Every structure is written in C-alpha cells, then in structure tokens.
Amino acid sequence: MKRIYRDYLQCLVLLLVVPLLTFSAYAASDLWSVARTIIIDVYNGIAGISTVLAGCMSAVAVLGAKLGNTQQKSDQAWDWLKRIWIAWAIINGIGAFIAYITPFFNGLATLEP
C-alpha cells in the first residue's frame, strides 16, 4: 500500500510542477515574414561572398592569362575568367529575378481560404 501511495504522490507532484516549468513562446511575426527575412539575409550573404570571390578569382585568372608561358595556358585562363563572370552573373541574376517576381505573389501566401 505504501508503494501505491508513493507513486500517487509522485504523479501528483509531477502534475503540479510541470505547469510551473513550462512557459509560453510568442512569435514576433508570422511565418512568411520570418521566412522572407531569412531568405533575404542568406541571399545577401551569398551574393556578398560570391562578389568577393569573383573579384579574387578574376585577378588570379588575369594573372594566369598574362603570365602564362604558352598560348594554351593563356586561353585556359581566359576561359576560366569567362566562367567566373557567368557564374557571378547567374548568382546575382537570381536575386534580381526574385525581386522582380515577388510583387506578383503578394497576398497569395496565406492559409485563409
């Protein structure tokens, strides 16, 4: 009988303590605005890093083209420079495309019928 009383007392204490240890979390804004903020921050970081890397790698490619011993090495360096510029344009073009199409979808990201 003592074991049942002890188990009952433990369950009762647990039921009284759990509400004291829990707390409510309140969101600052809705899901869509938070997701938009995260996407913008991540894209700005990617675009910034890609711009710095494109500048550094362009300098390396130009040096490779100018200091190349053979015509083949110079041509390869110019090909790499073109690829770097194309990749940078694509990465920044994604941001421009998203900024252009975003106004067309205003009001569509709702859960209400």
Question: Distances from the Cα of 79 to the Cαs of 40, 85, 86, in angstroms?
Answer: 32, 10, 11
Predicted confidence (pLDDT) per residue in 94-110, tens digit: 888 887 887 777 766 56
Predicted confidence (pLDDT) per residue in 37-84, tens digit: 888 888 888 888 989 999 999 999 999 888 888 899 889 999 999 999
Domain map of the chain by residue range? Answer: 29-103
Residues sharing a CB contact under 8 Å with residue 103, sequence separation 6 or more, in sequence order: none
What is the C-alpha to C-alpha distance for residues 77 and 61, in angstroms, rounded to an integer? 5
What pLDDT is attached to residue 36?
79
Higher pLDDT, 71 or 111: 71
What pLDDT is attached to residue 92?
87
For every residue of 3-53, DSSP letters joined together read HHHHHHHHHHHHHHHHHHH------SS-HHHHHHHHHHHHHHHHHHHHHHH
